[in-house]
Amino acid sequence: EVQLLESGGDLVQPGGSLRLSCAASGFTFNNYAMSWVRQAPGKGLEWVSAISGGGDSTYYADSVKGRFTISRDNSKNTLYLQMNSLRAEDTAVYYCAQGQITMPHWGQGTLVTVSS
């Protein structure tokens, strides 16, 4: 059974940094691209970033480009999202998902709140 477990969400001040993690199990992690998708309170889904299975290709939404960095450690079956220069509009539940575009499996999400 595929399992994705996010962690690292927290309350952070504007301009601050945070690193999210997503621990994967139940599938051969390095065979799959992975993504982060976020959902602001009461709003729809917004694709944030994706990374290839080997980690050599990365993709970002314009809204986070230059501030967020996606990475993975295939030896630890873990996906990361380093978030810098956080803004109030980054407040959301962040989901990790298996896949780069079509996402058949999702984690339960971790809440990031950016507020002073």
Tell whether residue 3 is a contact of other proteins (CB under 8 A): no
Tell whether residue 111 is a contact of other proteins (CB under 8 A): no
Tell whether residue 110 is a contact of other proteins (CB under 8 A): no
Compute the least distance from the CB of residue 59 to other proteins, in Å: 5
Give CA–CA dist 45/100, Å, rounded.
Answer: 15
Count, residues near other proteins per rule CB under 8 A: 19
Q: Which of residues 51-80 bind other proteins (CB under 8 A)?
A: 59, 61-62
Tell whether residue 10 is a contact of other proteins (CB under 8 A): no
Q: Which pair of tokens denotes residue 68?
A: 């967020």
Beta strands in 1-116 (DSSP E): 3-7, 11-12, 18-25, 34-39, 45-51, 58-60, 68-73, 78-83, 92-98, 105-106, 110-114
Rule CB under 8 A: choose which of 41, 66, 75, 101 binds other proteins: 101
Tell whether residue 108 is a contact of other proteins (CB under 8 A): yes
Give the three-class secondary structure for 30: helix
